[in-house]
Amino acid sequence: MRIIIEDNYEALSKKAALMVAGQILLKPNTVLGLATGSTPILMYRELVRMHKEEDLDFSEVITFNLDEYVGLDRNDKNSYYYYMFENFFNHVNIKMENIFIPNGMADNLEEECKRYERLIEEKGGIDLQILGIGKNGHIGFNEPDLKFEATTHVVKLDDETIKANSRFFNRIDEVPRFAISMGIKTIMHSRKIILLSNGEEKAEAVYKAIYGPIVPNHPASVLQLHPDVTFILDRNAAKYLS
Ligand code: F6R
């Protein structure tokens, strides 16, 4: 495991974007696993800048998003589909047919999860997975105490996650209670993983992920077992690391 500590959120976002760009230069048809939420926003902005100003080419890149809410339409501004197009896909030359996001409106959610896993496999597996981390240690929407062997599945969101994500909605009761998420097993099968975290409120979750026992109660702790994982943190998120 590598731990990179940057002075601030801007610097960690630039470092993450540089790593993604390096991966794409080395393998133009890279399969990227992508996260949403507040943390990767500036990384996406930097990648868009690199595309516009430095010709970073996404024409062969394939992407799989980690998760999507159940029951939100693609056009709903809180859906992760909407987020990804708004913050990233609309501004780079990625091909529509290379973008994969779980369909939270599928009639048969179990079937949708199986289809998603099959697609990841068909595209050769994820080369580089970007992750954020929840205050409760979740990665993707793998909430505490889910089995490590889970593949893409429907999850019930924790009260803490619902509360945290309600900041994007008008009212807390508008936050969906369920989501589709890649499982821990899916994430652990990625060849490389980069976890980004900034802000003091994540410091404890980051500390437990790196130094805590490897337990389903703190899902990110499983990353200690991955052969190629890099944490990129700002000073606040790294507060408890010596
Ligand atoms: C998002 C995701 C989540 C977030 C996590 C942190 O696709 O899978 O695990 O990465 O909830 O969210 P932020 O960055 O908003 O603090």
Q: How does DSSP assign 89-155, residue by residue?
A: GGGS---GGGEE---TT-S-HHHHHHHHHHHHHHTT--SEEEE---TT--BTTB-TT--TT--SEEE
Q: Is the pLDDT of residue 242 over 90?
A: no
> Are 221 and 188 a contacting pair, CB within 8 Å?
no
Question: What are the domain boundaries of the chain?
Answer: 2-188
- Distance from C-alpha of 49 to C-alpha of 60, rounded to nearest angstrom: 18
Among the listed residues 46, 112, 127, 143, the single catalytic one is: 143
Cβ-based neighbour number of residue 25 at 10 Å: 11
Give the tens place of pLDDT for each residue, 49-108.
999 999 999 999 999 999 999 999 999 999 999 999 999 999 999 999 999 999 999 999
What pLDDT was estimated at residue 177? 97
35: phi then psi, degrees, rounded to nearest 5: -115, 160
Of 121-125, 162-166, 195-199, the one with minimum mean pLDDT is 162-166
pTM passes above 0.95 = yes
User: What confidence category does residue 146 fall into, taking pLDDT thresholds of 50, 70 and 90?
Assistant: confident
Options 3.40.50.1360, 3.40.50.300, 3.20.20.210, 2.30.30.90; CATH of 2-188: 3.40.50.1360
The predicted model gives 34-52 an average pLDDT of 98
Confidence of residue 137 (pLDDT cuts 50, 70, 90): very high
CA of 159 to the centre of ligand 1 (A): 15
One of 51, 138, 153, 189 is an active-site residue; which one? 138
Closest alpha carbon to 142 in 218, 199, 69: 218
**Average of per-residue pLDDT across 142-159:** 94
pLDDT at 46 over 90: yes
Q: Which of 46, 67, 117, 127 is catalytic?
A: 67
Cα separation, 128 vs 8, whole angstroms: 23
Rounded distance from Cα 231 to ligand 1 centre (Å): 14
Cα separation, 43 vs 198, in Å, equals: 12
Q: What are the pLDDT digits (tens) for 2-25? A: 999 999 999 999 999 999 999 999
Q: Which helix (H) or strand (E) holds 192?
A: strand 192-197
Ligand 1 neighbours, Cβ below 6 Å, are 35-39, 66-67, 132-134, 138-141
Query: Does position 157 have pLDDT exceeding 80, yes or no?
Result: yes
> Which ligand 1 atom minimizes the distance to the CA of 139?
9
Instruction: Give the tens place of pLDDT for each residue, 170-209.
Output: 999 999 999 999 999 999 999 999 999 999 999 999 999 9
Span from the CA of 74 to the centroid of ligand 1 (angstroms) = 18
Q: Is 136 a catalytic residue?
A: yes
